[in-house]
Structure 1
Amino acid sequence: MRAIQITEFGGPEVLREVELPDPVAGPGQLLVRVDTAGVNYADTHTVENSYLSRSSLPMVPGAEVVGRTPDGRRVVALTENGGYAEQAVVHEHLAHDVPDGVSDVQALALVVQGLTAWHLLRTAARLTAGESVVVHAAAGGTGSLAVQLAKAFGAGRVIATASTEEKRALALELGADAALDPDPASLKERIVEANGGRKADIVLEMTGGPVFDASLAALAPFGRLVTYGMASRTPPAPVEAAKLLARSQTLVGFWLAHCLGRPGMYHEPLAELLAMTAAGALRPRTGGVYPLSGAARAHRDLLARRTVGKLVLDMTR
């Protein structure tokens, strides 16, 4: 089968197309003939070996696939790497049937980024009706869904940040009430201004560095800042517990991996997201469709912040 394999850690240049033996499913696993594989920002960390979980070589990257099982089911599934290939082995309990009316790209947008957005709002931030929500990287795969879900879940005001005018326009189209440049200079003041002079109740933050620092400064008493990434590769300033105490604030870390295998945290929210999408109430955005051989280009585009929405690899190309 064709696959993308890495034999050394590094940037997009280490992603190479090769021929590998077909994988074999073991007990509790399914073999999936992959039609489309998802590309996530986390994949760039995996290839660098800078992710939360360490990688081993050689490796076929890719954490999510849509395809057919031997008995003809069309499923979307998470993988333990191995997704950038024409066939993948997945754990049976992580395969979810895709309903009619939901495309491959839409399903892939939901299984990692949609579930992440759902849990950021429901599980980590515990959004209640009327609260204000700041969504950083609001034109990206997770951010674009978080904007829509925040509105659907009753947020009072959604403030998006995105790096270009085009991306900010997209965030507004998806339902954000305001869209800001994420430049850390005066970001705190601009968030407060966009929220009608009040600090924010919830911030969803995945950039790190000074954006994290400004976001924490813009947080209201009893506010929750949820951190779920560090795209800048720059750690934020240390957070003093005494300052959180003095402001009655909560700092929450979130990693989707901790939801897998826990009752009610995978299939149930994914079914809700798929149903919302099939009904037209949620609009996952297609950010780019690449051939399998274009995996390195997809990673370069992600790292250069040239993309919006969901990126995928089409195994037929």
Structure 2
Amino acid sequence: MEVLKDVFGELNGQAITSYTLRNDSGMEFTCIDYGCTITRIMVPDKNGVKENVVLGYDTLEEYLNYSPYFGCIIGRISGRIKNATFTLDDEAFTLAKNENENHLHGGDNGFHNVIWSSSVETKADEANIVFSYTSPDGEEGFPGNLKLQVTYSLNNENEIVISYQGVSDQKTIVNLTNHSYFNLSGNLKRTILAHELTLKSDGFLELDPSFIPTGKVLSVEDTVFDFRKGLQIVQGVNSEHPQIKLVGGGYDHPFLLNANHEQEITLVDYESGRKLEIETDEPCVVLYTGNSLEEGFTIGGVPSEKHLGLCLETQLPPNMINNPNFPSAVLEANEVYSTKTKYAFKLI
């Protein structure tokens, strides 16, 4: 295992550090301490050609000027909270409103815009980058001083594991995720429309016009939301299903997982031969197919366009704090928040 450290840029007089982890088979994984952002994952195709399979930039300025959460950690809460308000023990909390009247992805100054402390741990068959940050009481409206640790691990099995841990001194809510956009074609040669996704999920959450779950779980049976036996993304994008049209022609929906740590999420690009298997502790994954990616800028020299990447955000259901039927995001004072997601890169 090898770890390379470099300066990625400078923000407000503080250097932004880049870490590249390289395993014994040559797979590379690069991240920066700004937002715990994954900038590059280099894996081979069926011919042994190593290429980048995530959307990311080469400069800090590009992340600052335009990045729809490429590769970063989202928090304190991922997804949307309706009307940017919630109640804990009869006390109402008002959050930052950064998407119309709602709260999105932790607010404008969420964890994606934080410079995290970082350190390196290396072992014979594994390398870790450990990121730390304390979110102060009241940040973006959330209660409690929340001490966080996010660890990115790369092993010799071509697996990346993201581990999240946190402790708050007050009762609060927490729901973290990573917002990487995957494209297994390699170096963004094609869109993700021909990618085939398999999900162990019988139900997805209906969205209202603000893309917030209504609380209703819809069956995937006989719909373009049925990924249980595998489905190409293009079949959903071209559908007239009202939920597909609502989010701009594609998916931006939470799926409730039937299983954990049983290859419950699989993404395949048959042309390159690459396969991504995701296993998680979380009860839900949000599938977002880049419906709102705009034109007018480039990503690694490739013009941006709709459906250039897709996100598989493992988490609790969005707006869970305002929906008692969903798994709870409440973290009691001094309780440990802990969850883990593994990304295994393979060939078909």
> TM-score when scaled to structure 2?
0.25
User: Greater share of strand residues, 1 or 2?
Assistant: 2
> TM-score when scaled to structure 1?
0.27
